[in-house]
Structure 1
């Protein structure tokens, strides 16, 4: 059994072009060092709309990319992800097909933040419990049950200290990109969320930021009042 953070980024900030930067190699090594300190065996580097093979030092690196589809974000993880995607060009269905063509899995990322990917009838391989919003875990579990998909965990780390706040336990004999893909497809994975006080503090910060940005959403089947800040995903106009 291995611990793998399936959602990390090698740069500190959002809002830049989808391309590698000179900082990426440094960021990747910092992620790897932080992962090992937290007992995480490996990390999937899933930068926004580009993949660059980078060393993560002593931690195992799993290639990946976070694709900005027309309905929100999808993680593509495996041995040979696409090197570049145009933000908001690919539909979720096209993204899943691209992932499978490259021998990768397609994972719905943070399904209740700035996304309606969860509403798309596409052959996804898993759904993510996101480290920034573990309060949605019960909703995500219900979503996974409804779709018959396994759950995975990822920190969505943009800063090294965030690595491992959510991660995936992978049942495999060895930790390779191919074995990770096989384990996810077979359902031999389960999410874990770390509840360290620092993690709780950072989550409250992100919750406030995403509320202000109107990115948070609540399942329509809940009877309670909607989460403040319901927003539309990239590529969709507000009604």
Structure 2
């Protein structure tokens, strides 16, 4: 069964998001999505908020048939890097660290590392050398 999940979203806990976590979930549901990953910039405050409100589960299961995945978007020295499926300890302290180091940390915590806009020079695109 396919799932439609947006893996790159921001709430008002992020510097560039305007929606509350509840409004973001409602909007995603309204668009027919089955889930979202909250990837606010350099903070996991929305994740803590949603766990406290019981709108998200620590075991990764959906709440009311809607999945909210933990995540964070870290501003590395080379650009932005998404962490999806887990949170990282003290994300603000990772800001400005090398992308490969942050990528390794994401993997150590069981998360998926994704460069969110790899070729967009205006939004901190990141490109790993091959």
**Same topology, TM > 0.5:** yes
User: Secondary structure of the equivalent of 1:117?
Assistant: coil
Alpha-carbon distance, 1:104 to partner: 0.2
Decide whether the 8 Å contact of 1:5 with 1:40 is kept in 2.
yes
Number of corresponding residues? 112
Distance 1:112 1:11 in 2: 26
Paired residues for 1:1-239 under 5 Å: 1-11=2-12, 14=15, 27-52=20-45, 53=47, 54=50, 55=55, 58=64, 59-78=66-85, 80-83=86-89, 84-86=91-93, 88-114=95-121, 115-118=124-127, 120-121=128-129
* Structure 2: runs of 5 or more not aligned: 57-62
Alpha-carbon distance, 1:14 to partner: 3.0
Alpha-carbon distance, 1:86 to partner: 3.0
| Deviation string, structure 1 residues 28-87 (Cα, Å, up to 9, x no partner) | 111111111110000100000111322367431100000000011000001x32042336
| Deviation string, structure 1 residues 82-107 (Cα, Å, up to 9, x no partner) | 04233642111001101001100100
| 4+ residue runs over 6 A deviation | none
Decide whether the 8 Å contact of 2:119 with 2:126 is kept in 1.
no
User: Secondary structure of the equivalent of 1:111?
Assistant: coil
Change (3 A) 1:5 1:11: same
Change (3 A) 1:61 1:116: closer
User: Secondary structure of the equivalent of 1:106?
Assistant: strand
Decide whether the 8 Å contact of 2:41 with 2:72 is kept in 1.
yes
| Deviation string, structure 1 residues 162-217 (Cα, Å, up to 9, x no partner) | xxxxxxxxxxxxxxxxxxxxxxxxxxxxxxxxxxxxxxxxxxxxxxxxxxxxxxxx
Q: Which structure has the larger Rg over C-alpha atoms?
A: 1
Distance 1:13 1:101 in 2: 24
Alpha-carbon distance, 1:113 to partner: 2.4
* Structure 1: runs of 5 or more not aligned: 16-22, 122-146, 148-239
Task: Provide the TM-score with structure 2 as the length reference.
Answer: 0.74
